[in-house]
Structure 1
Amino acid sequence: MRHTAPAQEWVPVCALEDLDRERGAAALVHGRAVAVFRTHDDQVFVLDNRCPYARASVLARGIVGTRKDTWFVASPMLKQPFDLRTGVCLDDPTVRVATYAVRVVEGRVEVGGRLP
């Protein structure tokens, strides 16, 4: 649906319909805690679940919204917004969280490797 990655193992996480729109869900993929998000128009994004400011795995519980045309999640603890596409903090572009390849195949969300 969004990113494709080089040859790697894709991990099925859940059905697309299991993800609430504009909410996050935590999952364990390739040994990493990730946050999976579904937008109102059914785009799916995957970020590292760990907030670099709070130093806690909380991003899946963050507030999803838009700033201009940019989808973001705001950390539930300290409210820093992270771009769902790039992982860059919208308030401080020197800080970012990892993003992951994601695709939807036959209604199932699959997560691949970390994106550059």
Structure 2
Amino acid sequence: MTAVAEPTTWVSVCALGAIARESGVAALVHGEAVAVFRDHLDEVHALSNVDPVSRASVLSRGIVGTRGGVPFVASPMHKQPYRLSDGVCLDDEAVRVPT
């Protein structure tokens, strides 16, 4: 059996200019809390806004930066860094945020 990836569908939540570089905003998309980030290269990433460790809806308020050239957001709760590209925690790959 071959798994087929579902196509990505983007939903407009705000103008790109409304998100400063290396920051994020929160949005409610189809009933889910989503964090939308703009990295230092102007790329846009969307993750769940829910921190998987604290279960609080706060990731959009995290610190956005890079580690070894990899854009990430550090949770404002306990500072775990999550890769913006796929939501994997840089300190513990068993922990991830849905993208």
Runs of at least 4 residues off by over 2 Å: none
Alpha-carbon distance in structure 2 between the residues aligned to 1:43 and 1:31? 24
Larger RCO (CA within 8 A; separation ≥ 6) = 1
Q: Does 1:97 align with 2:78?
A: no
- Compared with structure 1, are the counterparts of its residues 7 and 61 closer, same or farther at alpha carbon in structure 2 (3 Å cutoff)? closer
Q: Secondary structure at the match of 1:13?
A: coil
Paired residue for 1:25?
25
Q: As a proportion of its length, which structure holds more strand? A: 1
Question: Which 5+ residue runs of structure 2 have no aligned equivalent?
Answer: 1-5
Alpha-carbon distance in structure 2 between the residues aligned to 1:40 and 1:6? 26
Paired residue for 2:42?
42
The Cα of 1:40 is off from its aligned counterpart by: 2.2
Q: Secondary structure at the match of 1:14?
A: coil
Identity of paired residues, percent?
64
Q: Secondary structure at the match of 2:85?
A: coil
The Cα of 1:11 is off from its aligned counterpart by: 2.2
TM-score, normalised by the number of residues in structure 1: 0.76
Alpha-carbon distance in structure 2 between the residues aligned to 1:51 and 1:57? 6
Per-residue CA deviations over 1:54-83 (Å, capped at 9, x if unaligned) read 110000000001110210000001000000
RMSD after superposition: 1.3
Paired residue for 1:73?
73
Paired residue for 1:84?
84
- Compared with structure 1, are the counterparts of its residues 7 and 95 closer, same or farther at alpha carbon in structure 2 (3 Å cutoff)? closer
Matched residue count: 94
The Cα of 1:7 is off from its aligned counterpart by: 7.0
Paired residue for 1:106?
none
